[in-house]
Structure 1
Amino acid sequence: MNIVVRYFFRFVRLVLTPVILLMEKLTTPKALSRSAEDQAAADSACKDLALYQFPACPFCVKVRKEIARLGLNIELRDSRNDTGHRAELESGGGRIKVPCLRVTHSDGQQEWLYESGAINQWLRERFNPSVEDAAKA
């Protein structure tokens, strides 16, 4: 019985993967516009970020769409097909769970953020101009 369940879910994943990826392509929002200097500052800040993800994970899609909306150039690391990235995720973050955003602070310390909602909130607080404007007011 266990093998039947395993193959059922593999079949479901095989069918749903192209659908999820197509829907991501069709519904990814346009990036917000920034001045050249603001975009350069955002790109510089993104050099310290890496997103560990699986291509067809719905929660990873949610984070990638937020990254696209904010116009960020964050390195995407495929933890499903790249054993090196999978090992980094397990050794650094402590578990193989995606999405996971690795934040390398200026002092070299690494912070591992799990959960799509927490990652998106952190990205919005750091990179969304409307949130920055509200904080200054």
Structure 2
Amino acid sequence: MTDITMYDLPGCPYCAKVRSKLEELDLEYDVIEVPRSHADRTEVERVSGQTGVPVITDEANDVEGMHESDDIVQYLEETYA
């Protein structure tokens, strides 16, 4: 198990942006695929308080439920670059 977990929806361009940054920085991470239906996204809602994706958690830095792809990319660059 890794410290970073990403909540992802295949085909989501915002998720792809975050995945690309994680891979660019050569970071290991776990992926949890969320259902297409927002009503069924109970796990990501529990973690982040909303149903949109992408969302990441980073146990090493006490980050839980960070959303918004631009914010996540900026966080990853500042923390891991």
TM-score, reference length from structure 2: 0.81
The runs of 5 or more residues in structure 2 that have no matched partner are none
Are the counterparts in 1 of residues 56 and 67 from structure 2 also a CA contact under 8 Å?
Answer: yes
Shift of 1:92: 2.0
The runs of 5 or more residues in structure 1 that have no matched partner are 1-45, 129-137
The superposition leaves residues 13-65 of structure 1 with CA deviations (integer Å, 9 ceiling, x where unpaired) of xxxxxxxxxxxxxxxxxxxxxxxxxxxxxxxxx82211001010000011111
Runs of 4+ in 1 over 6 A off after TM superposition: none
Which structure has more RCO (C-alpha within 8 Å, separation ≥ 6)? 2
Partner of 2:74: 121
Shift of 1:105: 4.9
Shift of 1:77: 1.0
Q: Give SS of 1:92's match.
A: helix
Q: Specify the code of the residue in structure 2 equivalent to 1:121.
A: Q
Over the residues paired in the alignment, what is the CA RMSD in angstroms?
2.2
Shift of 1:94: 1.2
Identity %: 31
Larger Rg: 1
Take 1:52 and 1:66, find their aligned partners in 2: how far apart are those partners?
15
Among 65, 73, 78, the residue aligned to 2:28? 73
Are the counterparts in 2 of residues 53 and 80 from structure 1 also a CA contact under 8 Å?
Answer: no
Are the counterparts in 1 of residues 4 and 28 from structure 2 also a CA contact under 8 Å?
Answer: no
Are the counterparts in 2 of residues 103 and 110 from structure 1 also a CA contact under 8 Å?
Answer: yes
Matches within 5 A, 1:52-131: 52-80=7-35, 86-105=41-60, 111-128=64-81
Greater strand content: 2
Take 2:67 and 2:47, find their aligned partners in 1: how far apart are those partners?
12
